[in-house]
Structure 1
Amino acid sequence: MYLLLHRMGFNACFLIQDHVAATFGAGLGYACVIDVGHTKTSVSCVEDGVSISNTRVRLGYGGGDITQAYHWLLQKCAFPYKCDPNLSTLDAILLQKLKHDFCHVNLDVCGCFEKSFTVRQPKKPATSFIIQVADECLIAPLGIFHPELLGLTGIKPVVTQSRAVSDSEDPHDGDYLRETSRRGAKESGEPGDSLGGEGGASLILGGGGGGGEEDIVVDSMVEVCSSADFVLESGQPLGLDQAVLQSVERCGGDEQKRKMYGTILVVGGGLRFDGISHWLQTKLALHISYATKPDQIDIITNPKESDPQITTWRGAAILSSLETAQELWITAEEWKKHSVTILRERAPFMW
């Protein structure tokens, strides 16, 4: 915010969570959102413009890892063009194009096929190559479901929603929320040690009655999950289907879980493969319990028949133009005066 408003000279801006913006861009009231980027994949459940905090998980792999795995497999199959995507941007773009053109997740496509591609470089004539492609076009995209296949690209961390840390500029930081949560719980006769954390409490502060002290009301307290709550097998990161299952299972109640399983929104540019929606649908259907299984699992990979890479940006643009969102804008003068504390009033999510 400081960079935007004071260093870059923007007049005003406001914050919105990317998964919430994705549901706006897709025109959905609720969804389990999967955002597959170049270097990370994130999953969370969104309902009525609110991202449920303990369903958020970020996986340390994305479309770039699939590209690297595909390059490694091509090299094992006598790929005729010697390229190094780490040193040449043109080579990286070429491999990205080959991945999108050739890779798929369709079991009906099998055997070897002859494909051609053209290499273009500045001040050099275009060169065409013909290659034989086979199972490597299927194996590389499946790395998103079996991250052990992506092990050659390095360690893949799993990050979940954590407790808020102390912020010297914010009088309502995580420590404040935890203390007020405990106080409210003790006054109501409930234990308070398991309460609180970022997104864990709704606070209403007001001048009040006896003794001249403020009345503090604490409600909607939810315990924020720790990274240990997401089950990891043999130290391996979660596959995409397992991440979705564990995320949705942290929703409250069977009805909410059923809704999330029924509407799964895939955004970002890292998962644009033929047959990916059917594959994900099949993987999830094998593990969803009968109590939470919807009538139909709807995997939305092209919301509103548009590029999934722009869904989040389109949702943010829609929100920023709404009349009801005008009060969310934070001007440079307001940020300079109040700093991060103004987010308590202006952020459209629990800060």
Structure 2
Amino acid sequence: MAPPKKSGKLLQKEEGLERTDNSLAPNSWPVVTMINQKNYYTEYLKRDDQIMVLREQAEEAARLAASAAHPAPQPQNQDGEEENEGNEGRAEEEEVARYGSKIIVIHPGSQNLRIGFASDALPKTTPMVIARRAEKSECETEERCPKRVKLEEGEDTVDLEGEEVVGAVERDKDFDAAFNQLSTELKQKMRSNKRRMLPNSKDLVLSHNRRTVPETIKEHNDPYRVEWTEVSAESPKEYYVGQEALRIPDSSNPRYKLLWPIRHGWLNERDYTSKRRLMEDIQIIIEEGIKTELNLDKKELSSYRAVLVVPDLYERHYITDMVDMLMKEIRFSEICIIQESVAASFGAGFSQACIVDVGAQKTSVCCVDEGMCVTESRVNLKFGGMDVTELLFRLMLQNSFPYKSLDLNRRYDFLLAEELKFKLVSLSDGDVTVATHEFHLRRPDKDTKKFSFRIYDEMYLAPLSHFNPTLLDHQHKLQGRRSLWDRSYDIYDDMPNDPMSTAQSAIYQSLSTKVQEPAPEAPAPRPFGAHLAPIDTTPRSSVAGSPGPESQTPLPGAATPSGQGEAATANGSVAGGVSAAAGGLSPKEVAMRMWEDYDSVIPVCALDKAVIDSISHAAKGDEKKMRDFFAGIMVVGGGGAVAGFRDELEGRIKARLQREGREFQVLIGVPPRELDSKVICWKGASVFGKLRGTNDSWVRQREYDILGQRVLVQRCMWGF
């Protein structure tokens, strides 16, 4: 047992020992004092010069200011006067043109790629398709489009040359009922507008189409014969791009299969088995478009800059992979990104508008305010002009269209269908009449066939599918979904971070009423998203709307009386990211269930309702903003170029507002300066790319090599 320790005084008294302190530290380690928790401060990442991207941007601005302060001397004439003294305006225009000639604007879509220099007046358009060698072509592996069913015995089952047996167009009772209802509404509208109508219009169409016989025209007598792409059997090319791919015969030796890398605004995961191959095909299409349309070689692109147009409501991996491909594979010196709605507002010169972009396979609605898209107003619908084409020929084949074997998966039939749709469709009731039309069927290695046919109201009812999307078949649009790319997750909390808006969530919620009725003994299926609230990962300045009463919380995305979307669950409110109905699930589990619901449903909605919902969520109850948006609607995109489309959309929006008891002046403007609505987005992106001094969204090659995708957080104009 150790002796008890004695104090200093006791030691001095008993033993004469005195303890002294020489103030020497026991070690050389510095003593760290405790932080005063009531008052401490740090400057870490709080100044712009501590962020590399912003620091280099400030240094570049300083260099430009220094060069402007000491301009180079101007050339002088013999009298010692400056030659450019009276030509400042012309010199500035030439400088802008030279600046834009080094910028390439790229707008990829589901059907077309629009590409060109920022200094060009209009872009070059090429099909967004590539043909690769395969065992069979797409028409030999895909089901006929429109779908066919087998005919009964005794019916005509042979096509125009007896080559194959063709079934009848698939009939559906619900489709026929909806179609007949639309036809009746059209008749009522025509009567109210004093339009002349024949009582036997359908019989006239059927009788003419059933007895018509095609006329054969020899190839040397056809002045508009098609130059088909020649395929060499000895040394076939690995791929063909754009128009060349569409001109390859379906029965070529060897076979080629058409691949569309972008479908319905998504990357085409259905027809691809490799991420690398899909992105490689997009790269090849862009490079070939630059080479053939802009006459530039790939080696020259390192001195050019690019502007990429992306959807408003996008998937995060789409932007990151596209930027990675443009910066690392094509090697542009700089790149910037702009959203479609903002680009359209730039092209039209509007600072505040509701942009309705009707594309080939998707339709988007977004409100733009002060040159920025309102994040909660973004809507992305998965139907467009291609669905109109399919519906048009489904209706025409039901009315004994003479070319019975038409198949939209066959290349020459696809080209023919696009040509006929452009000539026929209209949403003006004055064009609805029994009319006779002609078309020439041109096929590889065969004589041209001249057909005569009649059409009545099909050309009007087909584009009405934008306002009645239940007429369309949407099931195939989810095939292959999430087979190559999973959702994007945040690196910090591992939560899905793809952007979502309350307007889009309201559309998903409205689809919950279309859940199939269960059997009497089976339990009822849970409503779509009933266990959770849509978690919007998009940064925004304020929360839309105020919370409802505790006793009854609105459904996710449901419209409140003021037209605002509420993020809540069907059975309880959201607290800390976990709903009362979620059974104590973690925020990640709640978010994962929400996105699983989103991935299992195709977002479709009547276009007029989508516009009203988008504006309601953008205004957030502000009456003045709502009036401004309704008075500033603009339709862009190729699908909206149908005659009478704007008037039909305007009338339907007014009628729906009246049924809801709201009165607003609805005006749908036309693109300014007589610009084609198809190129408005590209034109606005070219204007954005030519901005000097105010455009700080350029990503430089050095920045991307160091920071990678993280640099987009600083460079994108929105919360990426």
TM class by shorter chain equals: 0.7 to 0.9
**Could you tell me which amino acid in structure 1 is paired with residue 537 of structure 2?**
E
> Could you give the per-residue CA deviations for residues 45-103 of structure 1, whole angstroms, max 9, x where no partner exists?
111111111111111111111100011111111112232111x2221121111111111
Instruction: Report if aligned partners of 1:41, 1:60 keep a CA contact under 8 Å in 2.
Output: yes
Instruction: Report if aligned partners of 1:196, 1:221 keep a CA contact under 8 Å in 2.
Output: no
Q: How does 1:18-29 map to 2 (within 5 A)?
A: 18-29=340-351
| Superposition deviation, residue 11 in structure 1 | 1.3
**Could you tell me which amino acid in structure 1 is paired with residue 439 of structure 2?**
F
Residue of structure 2 aligned with 1:61, choices 371, 378, 383: 383
> Could you give the per-residue CA deviations for residues 243-299 of structure 1, whole angstroms, max 9, x where no partner exists?
00111111231111111111111111112211111111111112336997444x221
Question: What SS does the corresponding residue of 2:431 show, helix, strand or coil?
Answer: coil
1:45 corresponding residue in structure 2: 367
1:341 corresponding residue in structure 2: 710
2:430 corresponding residue in structure 1: 108
2:542 corresponding residue in structure 1: 221
Using a 3 Å threshold, how does the CA distance of structure 1 residues 71 and 302 change in structure 2: closer, same or farther? Answer: farther
**Could you tell me which amino acid in structure 1 is paired with residue 557 of structure 2?**
D
Q: Distance in 2 between matches of 1:236 and 1:316?
A: 27
Instruction: Report if aligned partners of 1:195, 1:221 keep a CA contact under 8 Å in 2.
Output: no
Using a 3 Å threshold, how does the CA distance of structure 1 residues 230 and 50 change in structure 2: closer, same or farther? Answer: farther
Q: Distance in 1 between matches of 2:418 and 2:489?
A: 41
- Structure 1 stretch displaced more, 285-294 or 259-268: 285-294
| Superposition deviation, residue 324 in structure 1 | 3.3
Q: Distance in 2 between matches of 1:258 and 1:230?
A: 21
Question: What SS does the corresponding residue of 1:28 show, helix, strand or coil?
Answer: coil
Q: Distance in 2 between matches of 1:131 and 1:301?
A: 33
Q: Distance in 2 between matches of 1:325 and 1:91?
A: 48
Verify: 1:9 aligned to 2:331, yes or no. Answer: yes
2:617 corresponding residue in structure 1: 250
Q: Distance in 2 between matches of 1:227 and 1:348?
A: 31
Q: Distance in 2 between matches of 1:286 and 1:45?
A: 21
1:262 corresponding residue in structure 2: 631
Q: Distance in 2 between matches of 1:32 and 1:22?
A: 10
**Could you tell me which amino acid in structure 1 is paired with residue 378 of structure 2?**
R
**Could you tell me which amino acid in structure 2 is paired with residue 336 of structure 1?**
D
2:407 corresponding residue in structure 1: 84
**Could you tell me which amino acid in structure 2 is paired with residue 93 of structure 1?**
L
Q: Distance in 2 between matches of 1:68 and 1:196?
A: 36
Structure 1 vs Structure 2 CA RMSD? 3.1
Instruction: Report if aligned partners of 2:351, 2:370 keep a CA contact under 8 Å in 1.
Output: yes
2:582 corresponding residue in structure 1: none
1:181 corresponding residue in structure 2: none
| Superposition deviation, residue 130 in structure 1 | 1.0
| Superposition deviation, residue 168 in structure 1 | 2.5
Instruction: Report if aligned partners of 2:368, 2:374 keep a CA contact under 8 Å in 1.
Output: yes
Structure 1 unpaired stretches of 5+: 158-163, 176-193, 202-219
Q: Distance in 2 between matches of 1:63 and 1:132?
A: 22
2:489 corresponding residue in structure 1: 166
Structure 2 unpaired stretches of 5+: 1-322, 479-486, 499-532, 546-553, 560-601
**Could you tell me which amino acid in structure 2 is paired with residue 113 of structure 1?**
A
Verify: 1:237 aligned to 2:560, yes or no. Answer: no
Q: Distance in 2 between matches of 1:33 and 1:227?
A: 27
Residue of structure 2 aligned with 1:95, choices 413, 417, 422: 417
Q: Distance in 1 between matches of 2:380 and 2:603?
A: 14
Question: What SS does the corresponding residue of 1:271 show, helix, strand or coil?
Answer: helix
Q: Distance in 2 between matches of 1:236 and 1:17?
A: 20
Structure whose CA Rg is larger: 2
2:262 corresponding residue in structure 1: none
Q: Distance in 2 between matches of 1:280 and 1:47?
A: 22
Using a 3 Å threshold, how does the CA distance of structure 1 residues 339 and 350 change in structure 2: closer, same or farther? Answer: same
2:538 corresponding residue in structure 1: 199
Question: What SS does the corresponding residue of 1:229 show, helix, strand or coil?
Answer: coil
Instruction: Report if aligned partners of 1:195, 1:223 keep a CA contact under 8 Å in 2.
Output: no
Q: Distance in 2 between matches of 1:236 and 1:346?
A: 30
Q: Distance in 1 between matches of 2:650 and 2:691?
A: 34
Instruction: Report if aligned partners of 2:383, 2:604 keep a CA contact under 8 Å in 1.
Output: no
Residue of structure 1 aligned with 2:657, choices 288, 309, 317: 288
Using a 3 Å threshold, how does the CA distance of structure 1 residues 46 and 156 change in structure 2: closer, same or farther? Answer: farther
- Structure 1 stretch displaced more, 323-332 or 4-13: 323-332
Q: Distance in 2 between matches of 1:240 and 1:129?
A: 35
Question: What SS does the corresponding residue of 1:34 show, helix, strand or coil?
Answer: strand
TM-score (norm 2): 0.39
- Aligned-pair identity in percent equals 29
Q: Distance in 2 between matches of 1:333 and 1:35?
A: 35
Using a 3 Å threshold, how does the CA distance of structure 1 residues 85 and 230 change in structure 2: closer, same or farther? Answer: farther
2:31 corresponding residue in structure 1: none
1:330 corresponding residue in structure 2: 699
Q: Distance in 2 between matches of 1:227 and 1:41?
A: 25
| Superposition deviation, residue 328 in structure 1 | 1.5
Instruction: Report if aligned partners of 1:257, 1:292 keep a CA contact under 8 Å in 2.
Output: no
**Could you tell me which amino acid in structure 2 is paired with residue 78 of structure 1?**
S
| Superposition deviation, residue 228 in structure 1 | 4.0
Using a 3 Å threshold, how does the CA distance of structure 1 residues 76 and 332 change in structure 2: closer, same or farther? Answer: same
**Could you tell me which amino acid in structure 2 is paired with residue 229 of structure 1?**
G
Question: What SS does the corresponding residue of 2:678 show, helix, strand or coil?
Answer: helix
| Superposition deviation, residue 301 in structure 1 | 4.4
Q: Distance in 2 between matches of 1:170 and 1:228?
A: 23
Question: What SS does the corresponding residue of 2:365 show, helix, strand or coil?
Answer: strand
| Superposition deviation, residue 221 in structure 1 | 3.0
Instruction: Report if aligned partners of 2:381, 2:603 keep a CA contact under 8 Å in 1.
Output: no
Q: Distance in 2 between matches of 1:278 and 1:112?
A: 23
Q: Distance in 2 between matches of 1:6 and 1:119?
A: 44
Q: Distance in 1 between matches of 2:413 and 2:423?
A: 15
Q: Distance in 1 between matches of 2:638 and 2:417?
A: 14
Q: Distance in 2 between matches of 1:274 and 1:227?
A: 38
Q: Distance in 1 between matches of 2:414 and 2:669?
A: 28
> Could you give the per-residue CA deviations for residues 296-325 of structure 1, whole angstroms, max 9, x where no partner exists?
x22134443121111101100100001134
Instruction: Report if aligned partners of 2:364, 2:381 keep a CA contact under 8 Å in 1.
Output: yes
**Could you tell me which amino acid in structure 2 is paired with residue 333 of structure 1?**
R
1:214 corresponding residue in structure 2: none
| Superposition deviation, residue 116 in structure 1 | 1.2
